[in-house]
Every structure is written in C-alpha cells, then in structure tokens.
Structure 1
C-alpha cells in the first residue's frame, strides 16, 4: 500500500534565508482531504564527528537562541546552495575549528523532524584532522572549540551534556563505526 499523500495545492506563508513555511492541501491514500498541512522548509545540513591526528574529538560550544542554551555540539552547518555535502562538511570543519580533514566518510542521513520539516542532515566521520588556520566564522557565529578523548565524549553523552539530538545521532554512528560503543 502506498502511504504517500498527494499534494493538491501548495502556497508559501513565509520565505526566508533560514526557514520557509508553506501550507499544503493534500489527499490521503484513502481519499480524505487534509486542508492545511504546514511544512517548514530548511536547507540541508551536515555535521561531523571530527577526530584529530592525535585522536582528540573536536567539539564546539555555542549559544542557541531558540532554545536559550549554550550547547556542546559536533561541528556542522548548512549546505550552501548546490554545494556537495562532503565539501560542505570539509568547509564547515575548517571554518569552525581551523582543522583540515581529508579523510571524511558519510555515516548516515537523518531527518530532524520529518513530520514538519523537509530537510535532512548528512552525518560524517572525519579523521586525521590537522590544525591549518584560525577559525573563519560566519557573521552571527561565536564558537569555542574544545578537545575531548572518546571516553570523555561517551561520558558527556551519559551525563546528558550534549543536548542537540542530531549531534548525538552522529556520535552514535561514529562510535559504532569506530567500534567504541
């Protein structure tokens, strides 16, 4: 049975650089009509578990205004336009941490909230990073780069000190790949 809904009509409520809101009129497989289903359109994202050449995990600490928290996270960000996800990951790692990574492997593609948002996140494992430059942050970014051992990151997860769900997911896949879970 095909569970997909057919879009009968769609229009935009708001279009912005970081989020767009549209409403769809849909027909369900059994013929029922959904008059207004709101969808948030976001650009796709990348995040990466970044391990330096001396086996330290790079984490970034930054303020997240919507939740009003200072969040400990793995590096990542928005894919620019038609940029390849792997290139976006390398760019974000270099901009946010100053580390260059050439060994980057896609681990998973996940959705933050597929019931209301249309975008997805590419989760990577980056290994062998070398510090090559200072941070080159976007206009509204303020990040503190921190280094942890893998056991320390595992403890941070146990202690619920990494609040961003997509970043916990990336760490899970990376630690599974590395055989440290």
Structure 2
C-alpha cells in the first residue's frame, strides 16, 4: 500500500484563541508536490455520552447553537480540560449539565468532526444507571434544558432528522447498536 501521509515542512499560526486556533501548514505530498497553505483548525478534544438513567430514560439537552442559529437537541458533552482524562471529563460534563451521576460508563467510539480541516476528535460514551444527585452547574455562557426520552422516542427523533448535531447522531447510533436496539 502506498504511503499517503503528507510531510509537514512548516507551520504558521494565524489566530490562537481559547476555543479555536487557526494555522496553515506547508506540506509535501508523497509524490513530491508542495501544498503551500493548508489551513487547519485546532480545537480541544471533546466528549459526549448517551446517558441512560436508572429508570431507563435517555437524557438529552436542548440548547441554542449560535454559529448555526438553531436550537439543538443533543446528548450531554463538552470540552476536555487541559490534562483531564476523557472519562473524567465525561463524568464532569454529565454532572454539570444534567445533575446526574453515572458509575457505569464505557467508551463506545472515537470520531472526528471533520478530519480534513480540524485536528481534534470526540470520545463517545455510553453511560447507564444515572442517578440525580444535584442541580445543574452550567458554564457562564451555557443555557440548556434537560429532557428525558425513551429509547423508542430517541430512535424516532433520529429517523425524523430531529437531532442536527452529527457527532451526537453518530454516538447515538453506536449506543443503540451496543444496546441491541438497531
């Protein structure tokens, strides 16, 4: 098999921010062609979880997403802090966003939002047996509503294209397969 990987000859940063960084790389392709400016968005890695309560309900969150200008129905998740382990980040996000604690949590997939332009990935989890232990503790610019659905309702939402976040749809399909629901 041919080696398809490009060699990075140099990089220059255009913007460095807390949530996104933009750089361009000068690259050499395997056949020697040069790509002078290949733009890469650097993001922190993310986590998300299909979270099922002890009563068998799937926790979903509804929130406004400004870039797309939509109110989006999603699964809980967020950014992994600097030196945080992905599973710890997922437990923290579940607690902050929903107030639920989960002891049974397993990674079911690692996916990329857009590997052609962004360097980060998302760890997807299946969390089961959640118990409500506190109220929400949201970030400064976070405002979301927690909703509960049956597995049958979540499947219908997916099939009706009512869940717009592609990374969350992927995690839901992985979880539904793991649960024997597909």
In the alignment, what sits opposite 1:68?
Answer: 69
The aligned counterpart of 1:81 is: 82
1:104 CA displacement: 0.4
2:57 paired residue number: 56
* 1:73-126 alpha-carbon deviations (Å, 9 max, x no partner): 000000000100000000000000000001000000000000000000000000
CA distance in 2, matches of 1:165, 1:129: 24
Counterpart of 1:159? 160
Aligned-residue CA RMSD (Å): 0.3
Q: Distance in 2 between the 1:110 and 1:60 partners?
A: 20
Distance in 1 of aligned mates of 2:159 and 2:171: 15
What pairs up with 1:88-167 in 2 under 5 angstroms? 88-167=89-168
Q: Deviations over 1:123-180 (max 9, x none)?
A: 0000000000000000000000000000000000111100000000000000000000
Q: Secondary structure at the match of 1:96?
A: helix
* TM-score, with structure 2 as normaliser: 0.99
Alignment coverage as a number of residue pairs: 181
Rounded to whole Å, the distance in 2 between the matches of 1:28 and 1:137 is: 45
Q: Which runs of 4+ in 1 moved over 3 A?
A: none
TM-score between both structures, scaled by the size of structure 1: 1.00
